[in-house]
């Protein structure tokens, strides 16, 4: 490598990098995470025989499909009649416990679930998928036939576009799970639609695709052909196993980074046409009404977003002492691409420091961020602000309102604020500017 170039690179530390490094190094020098234990050798938890250490455990295959430890019984999806159509829990939504997760993969049993007509249970031998309209070779596929196509696997988040929308006019929930739990992130496996369409011969006039579900709601959605050919898959597996019934077993549509309502579950039919079906009012789509009175019509990809998961109302800092070092963690995601960075504010958005991204940093996937903080026992207004590789920066509530306008009920991505009081308790507040 060119010597001059090398020197230039290594000394060109950006302001951001410099700030990040100095902030974490000085915090670690001034504090430690845990004080040494006083009991040590006499500690009864170590020196005495335990119940589980003096008996036989279960036989190794007592549970052929393993379940979480019984002590993890609180780690569950949660819902409320407020999340339903007039209290009917068949048309409702249950939320992912974001505060209990690690890494970026949501266990299948915790994936948020939205149903318009209950969870369907489909015998895969009876399941069929019709692909027709503007294709040379219309077809009805069995599941085995679908799986003959080469598979594609990737990690992507999925978010209902109304996640957080109830809080447009102010905080409604004193919990992270209820405020933001209409999203998850999984490793999805299926067949790329571009691969199937190459085989079936997509006619050049085809501009839109209709996807229809086979559950009682027959939910259908319309997608533009550019997206369909880019990265949409027909998914049959999630995190290494078949889809769960709740997620559309045996097959669902998956449109990475776009509104989850387009990801039609219990998929039955794909039709290709020249016009979007919603123009004929045969299916629905979401738009955003702006302050000018004009609507944003094509509104599919979810904007850059983030939320702090610790601390949170479910994960307060009430057991910390002044001077303790503690990790702030959260999730960032963008339907437009890859998360490039996340900033954290302790004073409600006046000043920001840069967090570290950790683990996998993938396009259209949750990205975990972290910041080591020296706890001072004083009130904070904690925020995170993400930015992606398409130059999108997460807006404030007022900035978002200027773009999506008066009826901003979908795609809410405004900066979220947790208030931490002097006792370390965390509550949901809103700072608009
Ligand atoms: N067939 C069918 N597909 C559907 C729905 C439905 O009720 N029926 N709900 C949609 C909505 S609004 C969302 S947010 C996502 C939720 O996917 P999940 O339940 O796997 O999280 O599925 C979408 N696909
Ligand atoms: Mo949704």
**Cα(241)–Cα(235) distance, integer angstroms:** 11
Report which bound ligand comes closest to the CA of 117: 1
- Cβ–ligand 1 contact at 260 (below 6 Å): yes
**Cα(135)–Cα(226) distance, integer angstroms:** 16
pLDDT for position 168: 84
Which has the higher per-residue pLDDT, 405 or 396?
Answer: 396
The alpha carbon dihedral of 150, 302, 371, 176 has a sign of negative
Give DSSP secondary structure letters for 315-375. Answer: B--TT--TT-EEEEEEEEE-TTS-EEEEEEESBTTSS-EEPEEES---TTS-EEEEEEEE-
Which has the higher per-residue pLDDT, 87 or 205?
Answer: 205
- Cβ–ligand 1 contact at 214 (below 6 Å): no
**Cα(91)–Cα(98) distance, integer angstroms:** 22
The CATH code belonging to domain 87-286 is 3.90.420.10
Q: Which atom of ligand 1 is nearest to the CA of 217?
A: 8
Calculate the average pLDDT of the chain: 91
pLDDT tens digits for range 196-252: 999 999 999 999 999 999 999 989 999 999 999 999 999 999 999 999 999 999 999
- Cβ–ligand 1 contact at 331 (below 6 Å): no
Taking CA atoms only, the protein residue closest to ligand 1 atom 20 is 247
Q: Global pTM?
A: 0.92
Taking CA atoms only, the protein residue closest to ligand 1 atom 16 is 114
pLDDT tens digits for range 329-359: 999 999 999 999 999 999 999 999 999 999 9
pLDDT band at 82 (very low <50, low <70, confident <90, very high): confident
- Cβ–ligand 1 contact at 265 (below 6 Å): yes
Measure Cα distances from 199 to 149, 183, 192, 195, 253 in Å: 9, 33, 11, 7, 18
How close is the Cα of 202 to the center of ligand 1, in Å? 27
Q: Smallest Cα–Cα separation from 418: which of 320, 336, 345, 338?
A: 345
pLDDT tens digits for range 43-57: 877 888 889 999 999
Domain boundaries, the chain: 3-53, 87-286, 305-429
Whether the predicted pLDDT of 81 surpasses 50: yes
- Cβ–ligand 1 contact at 227 (below 6 Å): no
pLDDT band at 2 (very low <50, low <70, confident <90, very high): very low
- Cβ–ligand 1 contact at 263 (below 6 Å): yes
How close is the Cα of 271 to the center of ligand 1, in Å? 19
**404 membership: H or E segment, kind and range:** helix 397-404
**Cα(153)–Cα(145) distance, integer angstroms:** 18
pLDDT for position 41: 72
pLDDT for position 30: 58
**Cα(371)–Cα(27) distance, integer angstroms:** 10
Whether the predicted pLDDT of 1 surpasses 50: no
How close is the Cα of 248 to the center of ligand 1, in Å? 8
Which has the higher per-residue pLDDT, 280 or 429?
Answer: 429
Whether the predicted pLDDT of 3 surpasses 70: no
pLDDT for position 244: 98
Ligand 1 pocket test, candidate residues 216, 249, 256, 263, most atoms within 8 A of CB? 263
**At the topology level of CATH, where does 305-429 sit?**
Immunoglobulin-like (2.60.40)
Q: Which atom of ligand 1 is nearest to the CA of 158?
A: 21
pLDDT tens digits for range 20-36: 544 454 555 556 888 88
Provide mean pLDDT across the span 75-88.
Answer: 92
**Cα(290)–Cα(276) distance, integer angstroms:** 22
pLDDT for position 408: 65
Residue 125, classified by CB atoms within 10 Å of its CB into exposed (0-12), middle (13-18) or buried (19+), is: exposed
């Amino acid at each position: 490598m060119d010597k001059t170039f090398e020197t230039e690179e290594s000394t060109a530390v950006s302001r951001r990098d410099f700030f990040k490094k100095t902030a974490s190094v000085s915090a670690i020098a001034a504090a430690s995470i845990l004080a040494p234990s006083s009991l040590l050798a006499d500690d009864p938890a170590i020196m005495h025989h335990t119940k589980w250490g003096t008996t036989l455990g279960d036989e190794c295959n007592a549970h052929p499909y393993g379940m979480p430890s019984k002590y993890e019984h609180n780690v569950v999806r949660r819902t409320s009649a407020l999340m339903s159509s007039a209290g009917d829990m068949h048309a409702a939504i249950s939320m992912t416990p974001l505060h209990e997760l690690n890494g970026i993969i949501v266990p299948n049993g915790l994936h948020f679930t939205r149903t318009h007509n209950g969870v369907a249970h489909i015998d895969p031998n009876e399941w069929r998928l019709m692909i027709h309209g503007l294709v040379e070779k219309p077809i009805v596929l069995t599941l085995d036939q679908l799986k003959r196509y080469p598979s594609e696997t990737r990690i992507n988040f999925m978010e209902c576009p109304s996640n957080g929308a109830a809080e447009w006019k102010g905080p409604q929930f004193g919990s992270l799970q209820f405020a933001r739990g209409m999203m998850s992130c999984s490793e999805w496996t299926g067949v790329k639609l571009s691969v199937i369409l190459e085989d079936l011969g997509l006619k050049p006039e085809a501009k839109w695709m209709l996807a229809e579900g086979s559950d009682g709601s027959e939910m259908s959605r319309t997608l533009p052909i550019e997206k369909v050919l880019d990265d949409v898959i027909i998914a049959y597996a999630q995190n290494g196993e078949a889809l769960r019934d709740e997620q559309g077993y045996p097959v669902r549509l998956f449109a990475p980074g776009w509104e989850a309502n387009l990801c039609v579950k219990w998929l039955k039919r794909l039709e290709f046409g020249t016009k979007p079906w919603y123009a004929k009012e045969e299916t629905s789509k979401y738009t955003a009404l702006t302050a000018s009175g004009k609507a944003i019509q094509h509104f599919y990809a979810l904007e850059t977003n983030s939320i702090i998961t610790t601390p949170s109302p479910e994960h307060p800092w009430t057991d910390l002492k002044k001077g303790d070092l503690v990790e702030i963690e959260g999730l960032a995601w963008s339907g437009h691409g890859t998360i490039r960075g996340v900033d954290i504010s302790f004073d409600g958005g006046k000043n920001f420091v840069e967090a570290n991204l950790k683990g996998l940093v993938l396009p259209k996937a949750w990205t975990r961020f972290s910041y080591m903080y020296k706890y001072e026992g004083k009130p904070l207004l904690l925020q995170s602000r993400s930015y992606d590789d398409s130059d999108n920066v997460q807006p404030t509530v007022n900035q978002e309102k200027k773009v999506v306008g008066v009826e901003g009920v979908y795609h809410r991505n405004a900066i979220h604020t947790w208030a931490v009081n002097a006792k370390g308790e965390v509550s949901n507040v809103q700072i608009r500017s």
